[in-house]
Structure 1
Amino acid sequence: MPERVHEREPEGGAGAGQEHGGLLRAFGLAEVYNPSMVPTLRPGDQLVVRYGAVVRPGDVVVLRHPFRQDLLIVKRAVQRRDGGWWVQGDNPFVENDSREFGVVPDELVIARAWVRVRPPRGIQRSVAGVLAWAVSAVRPVRAARSFSRRLRAR
């Protein structure tokens, strides 16, 4: 089953913030549906993404699937290669990534994940419950340098 992300594009489409200079339109939301990025991301997680951001090895990115460009997927940009990015999921049991479809051209990488928001499980009935959820649920999505080094060492 291919990884799928539901993207809520800013007004004017992907990258609209770059064209119109609007800071808010440079950011968007994406929802993760499948487990290819477990344990970093789980189905149901929301991502705050930045359109047109510089991508570095280890960044989590939203991209168009090379064979089905209407399908958005989320992967880790592992390394720069001739013609684009080698991307992989963090879940070693799911191979719907560059191991299957090869290098992804730069123009198909549309956004870099900035913050992950994990939805609450059940109703939070206390301030302490809401605070506990907020501390564990809202995390920056940072480059996993150790992950990319580990992949190159294989």
Structure 2
Amino acid sequence: MDSRIMKVQVNGDSMWPTLVDGDIAKFESVEDTAFRIGQIVLAKHPFKTDLILIKRISSINENGVFLVGDNPDPTASEDSHNFGRISVADIIGVRQKMRIEQ
């Protein structure tokens, strides 16, 4: 497997219905990537150093990236609504197009 590809198991329902708890999603590591609204990314949590997030980019500006979960239940996702924008430098991967396992 390409060393830039990471397989990550989804933990929780914040990205439901796009990704389901237990799914394995593929992410490509990023270096100087031009991110786009709508991309699903793997990112470092800004305050919980042991937590990696899978979220969708909702907006991008000079202050950083606003990340959200896909689940319409607002209590289902800890995202930028809780902790604000994150630095682009905290994004470590971009999801490859397809869910590969459940």
Amino acid at match of 1:57: I
- Counterpart residue number, 2:93: 111
Of 26, 29, 48, which aligns to 2:7? 29
The alignment partner of 1:66 has SS state of coil
- Counterpart residue number, 1:72: 52
| Regions of 4+ moved over 2 Å | none
The alignment partner of 1:25 has SS state of coil
Q: Is the 8 A contact 1:30 1:48 kept in 2?
A: yes
User: When the two structures are aligned, how many residues end up with a matched partner?
Assistant: 97
Structure 1, unaligned runs of 5 or more:
1-22, 120-154
Structure (1/2) with the larger helix percentage: 1
> In structure 1, what is the Cα distance between the partners aligned to 2:57 and 2:101?
22
Structure (1/2) with the larger strand percentage: 2
More relative contact order, 1 or 2 (CA 8 Å, 6+ apart):
2
> In structure 2, what is the Cα distance between the partners aligned to 1:95 and 1:70?
17
Seq. identity, %: 30
Cα RMSD between the aligned structures? 1.5
